[in-house]
Amino acid sequence: MSGRYSDPSVSYASLAKLARCSYQASEAYQVVLSALGDTFTGDADLCDADGVPTAADTDLVALRDELVEYVKTTMGRYEVAGAELEEILRAYDDADSDAAHDIEVAFADMETYGIGESDHSWDAAEEAEATDRPDDAPANGGKDDFAYESELSGEG
């Protein structure tokens, strides 16, 4: 190919590292999810002297429940990313016999350390789907989220 662009190339080691890191990130969030899970036993104690949950108690439980869902979504997205990268590597493994050895070494390394083997009681792909957030939430395109958007598009 001539000009300022070169022929594309793929670093199988980089793809394998991205897959491994994606799986490991998902697994690291398991610690957070476990810590949040430990708080459920205290729900019964969140109440006033008469045994009635106060507004603050109810808000705290709702906040914790929402945080659990955010963590599960994050875990799911990292796990799905790892699985998709692994699928790409397998496609290259099938198509490029020269790379097969390097790719198999990367998979063996992941298997040795148990990377990519989740045992969640929930479906990672389902958790990774789009989340419902208020229209004005920054993660949903709120005005503060893309303050420099016009600069990126060349309009500013």
In this prediction the pTM is 0.67
Token pair listed for 93: 């493994």
Q: Minimum mean pLDDT among 27-31, 54-58, 103-107, 152-156: which range?
A: 152-156
Distance of CA 144 to the CA centre of its chain: 23
Look at residue 58 in the predicted model and tell me its pLDDT.
92
Q: Name the percent of the chain in helix, strand, coil, to the closest 5.
A: 65, 0, 35
Report for 8-17, 22-31, 97-106: range of highest mean pLDDT: 22-31
Q: How far apart are CA 26 and CA 32, in angstroms?
A: 10
Q: How far apart are CA 81 and CA 26, in angstroms?
A: 10
Domain boundaries, the chain: 12-153
At residue 147 the predicted structure's pLDDT band, cuts being 50, 70 and 90, is very low
Q: What is the mean pLDDT of residues 46-58?
A: 91
Token pair listed for 75: 């875990």
DSSP state of 138: G
Q: Residue 89: pLDDT above 90?
A: no
What percentage of the chain carries pLDDT values higher than 70? 71
Of residues 92, 36, 109, 93, the one with CA closest to residue 66: 36
Q: Residue 130: pLDDT above 80?
A: no
Look at residue 148 in the predicted model and tell me its pLDDT.
41
Q: How far apart are CA 118 and CA 109, in angstroms?
A: 16
